[in-house]
Structures are given as structure tokens and as C-alpha cells.
Amino acid sequence: MKFDTFLMVDWSGGNDRGPTPKKDAIWACAARAGQADEPVYLRNRQIAEDWITRFLTDERRAGHRVMAGFDFAFGYPAGFGQTLIGTDDPFAIWDWFEAHVNDGLDSNNRFDLAGEINAMFPGVGPFWFNGLQRDIAHLPRKGLDRRDHGMAEKRMAEVQAKGAFAVWQLAGAGAVGSQVIMGLPMLARLRRRFADELRVWPFESPDAPIAIVEIWPSLIAKAVDATKPATHIKDAHQVLLLARTLSVIPADTLRSLLDVPPNPEGSILGLGQQAMLLQAAIGHPPPLRNDCFAMPRGAHWTPVDSALAHLKQHLSAVTAIETVAIAQAAGRFLAADVTAHRSHPPAPNSAVDGYGFAGPAPEGVNTMPLISGRAAAGQPYPGPIPNGHAIRILTGANLPTGVDTVVLQEDVTATATHIAFHGPLRQGANARKAGEDMTKDQVIMHAQRRLTPADLASITATGVGRVQVHRLLRVGIMSTGDELRDAGQTADAGHIYDANRPMLCAVAAAWGYDVVDLGRAPDDRPVVRTMLTAAAQHCDVIITSGGASAGDEDHMSALLHDTGSLALWRIAMKPGRPLALGLWNDTPVLGLPGNPVAAMVCALIFARPALRILAGGAWQTPQAFTVPAAFSKSKKAGRREYLRARLKDGQATIFASEGSGRVSGLSWATGLVELGDDAQSIGPGDPVRFIPFGSFDI
């Protein structure tokens, strides 16, 4: 089963009358063997249907087999057709809609029709969201007003496709119900027109000249975000990427995607194969394993070093790889070794301004005839220099043939025809050899390195213009807690200001990542769930603060627990308390404690190295310095302590209070003093480990 052409269509429930492309009108894009056409903007359904019909006709005339994907449900939850027309046969349902939908440029009857359908069902519903001003009989405005209509809320496909909307919702952000009603009549007509040639998956075997499949571009949302040029419209890029991706995956793989049990509700192509699709879309690395945060059973309090070792061992890069110009590469993690295209310097040249000749020059006064002309950087001297002669040469100029030594101009007495200087001067003095810095084909930088400004110079010097790097890690930051208010909002004594979010956003930005401010979530599990699902679509990693313990209002740990991937890490450190780690729809979530001091310390100690790995980098331990303590303190064995500290006269002083709510101590400090896991009694002058904030890259 092989297709030549893949046509992907992003359908729309509305119609666009204006001249400029709108983001949610209809877009279509075709691709063949990895090559995508320009996405086509189709202003309204009439134009779209004509265009699609013509496209399919032309492709068939050329003898091509076509897979055409449409982004709306091809069926309704089981039992819908029974009540509507006495059968769940999906094509009979299509034909019914084709006969009953009136689709005009300026208006259509979809809301009235939904009301009429609802009237056939018991109770209220299943369709809802009247998008019109006037009331429509049997069509509730709110989803919660529905009851007893007997229909499942979602098809199996939507249950599996996390974040997909139900077919019953006709309007509102993200709704798809109208697309279905306005799309099925078009499919019914295509079916009739291409009768013998066209088959609809999964109702029929797609092994046909034209296979129609249901798609859901959000399956590759991460790839879309990662590859979309800033100037392109998302829907356009979505159909382009999906068409191109399907056109490159091997025929066997495509066959396995299509291999689902037939069912009258329909299905979504690629469900459950998201990772494979993403990988095909942009060489996306495989997602983390569901058990990547699982600590060995029985561990009661986990030592900091064990926790770090676990992260180091189980995390891997999650960001796609792209090729960028050197000017865009600062701060990125290399995804491949960089090899010198040519030697640096490419040819022997002069390190100084002076006179070049064939060395060495013996002890005593050396006098040489001066060749007329000169060698300068970018203006080489063409001819050879006879032995015993000298030539004027400037810094960076290639050594002319016959020259291997340069005498500094300050050491020379020169006339128009001769130079004189005191020897001795060794052969090769003041000259740079070809390749003395870097040689052609040498690996000059290794994968996982974060490119520094100096690296850009080294890479460029060897003639490399583009490098393979990881896309910037997209880090979402979310706060949780009913007590929180945003900076600048009014708040009463029961509220506290969300201090963690600006802090953690700034930390992630200082680390050079792409920061997504996810706002704050209330202590309300369904809301947190919705926010996590939306965030997981667009973030590579989500950092939350608060709600990470095991209390009644600790929803973050409860939700992650439900995914089966939660590991509640009880780390033997102060400040700290538990860290809640887990995967939400394949996206890692790092749940930090709510206390700002604990949130910050945990971010520096755990999130920093973890994010580095996720971003494509190598594990990194912060640089610490041993300094004398200027304080006294005893601690028990069994946990590590991090104290807010600053250096004064070369000694470490610590903040007056260890209270983890004392956020001002973080501002006071210029780093952390790290006290080991064992019992200690520290007095003034004793050596302690001081880690400046600079070592944490903040």
C-alpha cells in the first residue's frame, strides 16, 4: 500500500469573506516523497471543495495514488446513527448530513440542524453551544445544561487523543463540532464523485487509488512549534508538516498506522504512534520512558547524590535537532561533533608587521636587499622571494613563497632598497604555521557542548558556516495555590503574592531557555489537569511550584500520581521537602516545593542539571570553592543542608535565619554554602564549600 501524494486539509466550521488569509480558514498542502508544495489558502468551503475535487482529479489523471487527510471526526460516538436514522453506518450518516446541511457563503443551518437532531434524542443534548444570538429550540448554550441524552461524550479516538475536543461542542475556542457537520457533506460528495477509486479509512480498507483518512495535527504539535518559521501561519505549517511527514515514513510503517480494527466511529491516523510521527517530522528524539523518575522501592529518604545520579542516568535530550547559521547558534547545545572544514590558519602568515625572508639569520648584523612590493592581509604577494632577499610584510599576510621568517619592523633599519638588523633570529620566528591552531578534518567541538561566544569564533575560523544544534528547550513555569495573587493585583491578608513564578521564569531565562509563563493554577484538580495538558502540548518540560507534597491540597503530586509516572522524591536535604517528578503526556514535570527558598534551591540543585540534559547538554556539577567559615553551626547526620551565604573578606557568612519562607535571604546571598550529609560541627575558620550563584548560571 503505497501512496504517491499526501494531501492534508485543515477544515473549518466558519467561512472567511475577507481578502487576507485568516488563521482559521481552510488550508491544504500536498507533499510527495518528502517534498511539500506551498500550503494553499482556501477562503471558504465552496472554494475548498472545488479545489480539492480538481486536485484529486488531476492526481488521478496523472496516475498517482493519493492519501487525503481531513482534520475532523468522520463519525459520532456509537449509537448516534441508530437514533438519527436507524443505523450506525457512517456513510448513511454522511448522506443524511449531505441532504440536510444548507451551506451558504453568508450563513448556514448548522445550529438549527443540531437543535433538530437534539430533539430526536431523549433529555437535553447531545449537541451544545449555540453560537447565535437567537435561542434555538433544543440546543443548550452550556455543556453542563445537557442531561440524559444517552450519548458518550467522546469517541474512543478522542479519549485516546489527549486534548481532543468532543464532536458535540459546536462553538467556542478549540471546538470541532461545527467542522464535522460542515465537513461530512463534502466528504459524502467526494465519495460519490470518485466512487470506484475512493475508500474511507477505517470504515473500508484504504488500499485504493484515493484513501481518505481522519487526521489530528495536534499529534505533531511539538514538531509544528519547533519547525514553524515565525512568519508562517500555524494552520498552514501544520498541514505542510503532516503531509511531508506522512510522505517520508516507510510504507510498512504507514501500513501499521492504518492497521486499526474497523469501527463505525472512525479513528485518527497515527493515534498511539505520536512519538514515531514526531521523530519522522523532525528527527525528534524519542520521549522519556514512563519510569524515568521511578526511585528504587524502599528508599525512604534519598540522599542528594543518589537523586542527582538517578536524573543523570535516566534523562536524555528531548528537543529536536535543527541546523542553524553560526550567528544563531550562541547558547545552543551541539547535536553533533563539529569538524574543521579547513585548517586554521589556512596558510602560513606573519604574526607581526616587519620584513619576511628565508631564515634563520645568523648572529651579527644582517643586511638584505629589499624586494619592491609588499604582502598584506588579504593582498598576498604573488611571486617567490629569492634567497637572501627580504620583503615588507604586514600582520596576517600570507608568507610569500621563499619566506619562512619575519623580523619585527621595530628591530629593523630600512632604506628604499635594503634592510639591516641584528641577528640571531631563528627560522620561523614571528611566523604562524598553517594549521598550527586547528587542522582540517579535526573534531574541534563535541556534541552536547553549549556553544560559547568564543566557540562561534573557533567554528567560523575553520570555515564552518552552519551547525547542528538542539532546538531551544521550551520550559513552562507554573505556580499552584489558591492563596496566590499576581504581582500588582490587590490581595488581602489571606493572600500571598506569587513570588516563585517571576523568580523561576528569570532563572530559566538566565539558563538560556525559551520560557513559557504558564500562569498560576488554583488548588482545583480538574483545572490543574487542563492546564498541564495544554502546557504539555507546547513545552518540553514543565516546572511547577507548590502542591508537591502528599497533603489534601497537593494536587500536583496527586495528578502526576494518577498518570502512573509519579515519583515523589523525599530528598534528604534542607531546604527541600518532596519533589514531585513525573510525565504528563510524555512531557516531564518537575514539581518543586512551594516555599520560595526551597523552590529556588531545588531548582538550582536538581532542575539545572536536569534541564541541561533535556536540552541536549551534558551533565554539569556546579563549581564550588572551599573557603573558611565565618560562622558556627552544628548539624545532624542524614541530610545535606544548603545555607544562603555570601563571601566577606574571603570567608563565608550565612543569612541570620534558616527559615525557608525568608525570601529576602535569597536576595541577600551571593551563593550557597553546602554542608555534607554527615554530622558536622562547624566553627569560624573551618573549611566549607561555597557555591557562588554564578556557578549555577544565575
Amino acid identity at 620? Q
3-class state of residue 232 by DSSP: coil
Q: Examine residue 546 and tell whether it contacts Mg ion (CB under 5 A).
A: yes
Contact partner, 212, from Mg ion, ligand AMP, none, Cβ < 5-8 Å per class: none
The percent of the chain in helix, strand and coil, each rounded to the nearest 5, is 30, 25, 45
Q: How far is the CB of 531 from Mg ion (least distance, A)?
A: 15
Among 77, 202, 547, 588, binds ligand AMP (CB under 6 A): 547
Q: How far is the CB of 553 from Mg ion (least distance, A)?
A: 5
Q: How far is the CB of 572 from ligand AMP (least distance, A)?
A: 18
Q: Examine residue 543 and tell whether it contacts ligand AMP (CB under 6 A).
A: no
Q: Examine residue 595 and tell whether it contacts ligand AMP (CB under 6 A).
A: yes
3-class state of residue 530 by DSSP: helix
CA atoms of 568 and 311, how far apart (whole Å)? 14
Contact partner, 295, from Mg ion, ligand AMP, none, Cβ < 5-8 Å per class: none
Q: How far is the CB of 498 from Mg ion (least distance, A)?
A: 11
Q: Examine residue 521 and tell whether it contacts ligand AMP (CB under 6 A).
A: no
By beta-carbon proximity to Mg ion, the closer residue of 52 and 484 is 484
Joined together, the cell numbers standing for residue 546 give: 507548590
Q: How far is the CB of 175 from ligand AMP (least distance, A)?
A: 32
By beta-carbon proximity to ligand AMP, the closer residue of 270 and 547 is 547
Contact partner, 572, from Mg ion, ligand AMP, none, Cβ < 5-8 Å per class: none
CA atoms of 549 and 576, how far apart (whole Å)? 11
Q: How far is the CB of 534 from ligand AMP (least distance, A)?
A: 19
By beta-carbon proximity to ligand AMP, the closer residue of 66 and 568 is 568
CB atoms within 10 A of CB 205: 13
Q: How far is the CB of 497 from ligand AMP (least distance, A)?
A: 7
By beta-carbon proximity to Mg ion, the closer residue of 115 and 575 is 575
Region binding ligand AMP by CB under 6 A among candidate stretches 27-35, 99-107, 206-214, 546-554: 546-554
Amino acid identity at 12? S
By beta-carbon proximity to ligand AMP, the closer residue of 450 and 577 is 577
Burial of 643 (0-12, 13-18, 19+ CB in 10 A): buried
By beta-carbon proximity to ligand AMP, the closer residue of 345 and 519 is 519
Q: How far is the CB of 592 from Mg ion (least distance, A)?
A: 12
Q: How far is the CB of 603 from ligand AMP (least distance, A)?
A: 12
Q: Which helix (H) or strand (E) holds 310?
A: helix 304-314
CA atoms of 207 and 158, how far apart (whole Å)? 25
Helix axis angle, 110-120 relative to 177-193, nearest 10°?
90
Q: How far is the CB of 489 from Mg ion (least distance, A)?
A: 18
By beta-carbon proximity to ligand AMP, the closer residue of 504 and 613 is 504
CA atoms of 4 and 40, how far apart (whole Å)? 19
Q: Examine residue 544 and tell whether it contacts ligand AMP (CB under 6 A).
A: no
By beta-carbon proximity to ligand AMP, the closer residue of 320 and 505 is 505
Region binding Mg ion by CB under 5 A among candidate stretches 46-54, 242-250, 544-552, 555-563: 544-552
Q: Examine residue 548 and tell whether it contacts ligand AMP (CB under 6 A).
A: yes
Q: Examine residue 462 and tell whether it contacts ligand AMP (CB under 6 A).
A: no
CA atoms of 74 and 183, how far apart (whole Å)? 9
Among 130, 500, 653, 695, binds ligand AMP (CB under 6 A): 500
Nearest to 219 by CA among 69, 116, 424, 361: 69
By beta-carbon proximity to Mg ion, the closer residue of 429 and 543 is 543
Q: How far is the CB of 598 from ligand AMP (least distance, A)?
A: 8
DSSP 70-120: ESS-SS-STTHHHHHHS---HHHHHHHHHHH--B-SS-B-HHHHHHHHHHH
Q: Examine residue 578 and tell whether it contacts ligand AMP (CB under 6 A).
A: no
Q: How far is the CB of 491 from Mg ion (least distance, A)?
A: 16
Q: How far is the CB of 510 from ligand AMP (least distance, A)?
A: 18
Joined together, the cell numbers standing for residue 195 give: 466512487
Joined together, the cell numbers standing for residue 223 give: 514538531
CA atoms of 620 and 608, how far apart (whole Å)? 9
Q: Examine residue 596 and tell whether it contacts ligand AMP (CB under 6 A).
A: yes
Joined together, the cell numbers standing for residue 447 give: 556534541
Joined together, the cell numbers standing for residue 574 give: 534542607
Q: In the complex, which residue's CB is closest to ligand AMP? A: 594
By beta-carbon proximity to Mg ion, the closer residue of 150 and 551 is 551
Residues within window 455-484 making contact with Mg ion, judged by CB under 5 A: 481
By beta-carbon proximity to Mg ion, the closer residue of 594 and 617 is 594
By beta-carbon proximity to ligand AMP, the closer residue of 430 and 557 is 557
By beta-carbon proximity to ligand AMP, the closer residue of 178 and 595 is 595
Start-to-end CA distance of the chain, whole Å, equals: 55
Rg (CA), the chain: 34
CA atoms of 100 and 177, how far apart (whole Å)? 16
Q: Contact letters (x/-) for Mg ion, 481-500, by CB under 5 A?
A: x-------------------
Q: Examine residue 545 and tell whether it contacts ligand AMP (CB under 6 A).
A: yes
Amino acid identity at 446? H
By beta-carbon proximity to ligand AMP, the closer residue of 315 and 531 is 531
By beta-carbon proximity to ligand AMP, the closer residue of 354 and 546 is 546
Q: Contact letters (x/-) for ligand AMP, 464-493, by CB under 6 A?
A: ---------------x-x-xx---------
Taking the C-alpha atoms of 600, 602, 608 and 614 in order, what is their torsion angle to the nearest 10 degrees? -130
Region binding ligand AMP by CB under 6 A among candidate stretches 38-46, 112-120, 466-474, 543-551: 543-551
Nearest to 68 by CA among 76, 59, 77: 59
Among 78, 260, 336, 496, binds ligand AMP (CB under 6 A): 496
DSSP character at residue 147 = B
Dihedral pair phi/psi, residue 286, rounded to 5°: -65, 150
Q: How far is the CB of 517 from ligand AMP (least distance, A)?
A: 12
Distance of CA 579 to the CA centre of its chain: 23
Which pairs from 652-657 meet CB under 8 Å and 24+ separation? 652/627, 652/628, 652/688, 652/690
- Report angle CA 15, 21, 25 to the nearest 5 degrees: 35
Region binding ligand AMP by CB under 6 A among candidate stretches 46-54, 180-188, 587-595, 650-658: 587-595
Q: How far is the CB of 541 from ligand AMP (least distance, A)?
A: 18
Q: How far is the CB of 484 from ligand AMP (least distance, A)?
A: 5
DSSP 48-68: HHHHHHHHHHHHHHTT--EEE
Look-up: residue for cell 598550527? 436
Amino acid identity at 13? G
Q: Examine residue 593 and tell whether it contacts ligand AMP (CB under 6 A).
A: yes
Q: Examine residue 547 and tell whether it contacts Mg ion (CB under 5 A).
A: yes
Nearest to 561 by CA among 525, 603, 606, 521: 525
By beta-carbon proximity to Mg ion, the closer residue of 496 and 698 is 496
3-class state of residue 604 by DSSP: helix
CA atoms of 593 and 240, how far apart (whole Å)? 42
Per CB under 5 A, residues contacting Mg ion are: 481, 546-547
Q: Which residues bind ligand AMP (CB under 6 A)?
A: 479, 481, 483-484, 496, 498-501, 545-549, 593-596
